[in-house]
Amino acid sequence: MLRKLQQVFHPTTVEEAVTMAQTTPNACYLGGGAWVVAQGNPHLEAAVDLQGLGLGKIESDIESVRVGAMVTLQQLMDDAATGPLADGLLATAAGYTQSRTLREQGTVGGTLMVAGPADPLTTALLVLDADVRYADPGSHTAPFTSFVAYRDRLIRTRVLLIELLVKRPTARSAATFEVVGRSPKDKPIICVAAYVAVNEGLPAEVRIAVGGVDTHPLRLLKTEHLLKGQLLTVSRIETALAPVLAELHPVADFLATAEYRLEMMQVLTRRAVLAAWERARRG
C-alpha cells in the first residue's frame, strides 16, 4: 500500500510535470497506475499525474507512426495504425505483456520504463526503426536502442518519456516474434524478435533482438552483421549465433536455468529469422 502518499500533482505541461517530479523528494510519475499501485512503494510521498498532458494519442502518416507515452497497451493492439504495423509485431508483443485487464490500464511509457529482462514490447521495438522522445525537462530525441542501454540512468534522473516514433518498414520486409513461456498466454521466459528486409533476393538488412538472456533485452549485432547479404539457412544462423553466446549473461531462476535460456534463445532465433526471411521474400 502507498501508506505515505500525501500529494498528487496535476501539471498541465510536460515541462511542469518533469520539474515537479525532479524537485519533489520521493515522487513518481503516475500514468495508468498499474505498476505504481502493484509495487506499493512504502516511501512514495508524491505522485505527478500525467492524465492532462495529451500524451494518449496515436498519430500516423505515410512514413511513420507516433505513439504517445500514455497510450494503453490495448490501444496499441487495437489501433488501425499500430495494430498491423510491421506484420503486427507491436500488437503481438503487447499481447504477451499483461492480461487484458491490465493492458486496458497499463501505458506504453510506463511499460517501457519498468521493463524487465524479458519484456516483449522492448524486444519488439529494438528491431524496428524507432526513436523515443523524452523530457528532462527540455525535449530530447534518441534512438530506441540508446534508450534501452541508458534507461536506468534516465530513471534515476526522473526524465519523462513523451512518445515513440516508429518508421514504417520497407515494402519487401517482414517481422516476426517468437516466445516460450510456461503457457501460451503467459509472459515470456525467452522472446525473440526478427526483422528482415530483402533486396535482389538477399537480406539487405537483418535485425534480431532477444529478451530473457541478459539484464535487459538486446540486439544481436554481431549475428546480424554475419547474416546480412547471405542466403539464410539453419546452419548459417547457428554459425552466426556462436560469437554472441559467450557475451550473454542469463540468470537462472525458478522459471529456467541459464543453460535452458541460451538453448531456447537459439531455437527461437532460428525460427524467427527464417520465418521473417521467407515472408519478406514472398513480398
Predicted local distance difference test score (pLDDT) of residue 45: 82
Which residue type, as a one-letter code, is found at position 3? R
What DSSP line would sit under 157-169, residue for residue? TT-EEEEEEEEPP
For the chain, the straight-line distance linking the first and the last C-alpha, in angstroms and rounded, comes to 52
b/e sequence 95-131, b meaning 16+ C-beta within 10 Å: bbbbeeebbebbbbbbbbbbbebbbbbbbbbbbbbbb
Give how far Cα 75 sits from Cα of 55, 56, 70, 105, Å.
Answer: 13, 9, 10, 10
Which CATH code for domain 173-282? Answer: 3.30.390.50
CB 3 within 8 A of CB 45: no
58-167 and 173-282 have identical folds: no
Q: In what order do the strands lie in the sheet with 46-49?
A: 7-9, 46-49, 27-30
DSSP state of 189: E
Assign 20 to helix, strand or coil: helix
Contact 158, 22 (CB under 8 A): yes
CATH number for the 58-167 domain, one of 3.30.465.10, 1.20.1250.20, 3.10.20.30, 3.40.50.920?
3.30.465.10
- What single DSSP character describes residue 200? T
Which residue ranges of the chain lie beneath pLDDT 50? none
pLDDT for 79 equals 97
CB atoms within 10 A of CB 250: 21
Q: Specify the length of the chain in residues.
A: 283
C-alpha cell at 172: 519487401
DSSP secondary structure letters along 58-106: EEE-SSEEEEETT-BHHHHHHSTTTSSHHHHHHHHHHHTTS-HHHHHH-
How confident is the model over 59-97, as pLDDT tens digits? 999 999 999 999 999 999 999 999 999 999 999 999 999
CB 45 within 8 A of CB 4: yes
Beta strands 64-68; 160-167: pairing state: antiparallel
- Break the chain into its structural domains and give their ranges: 7-49, 58-167, 173-282
Q: What is the DSSP letter of 214?
A: S
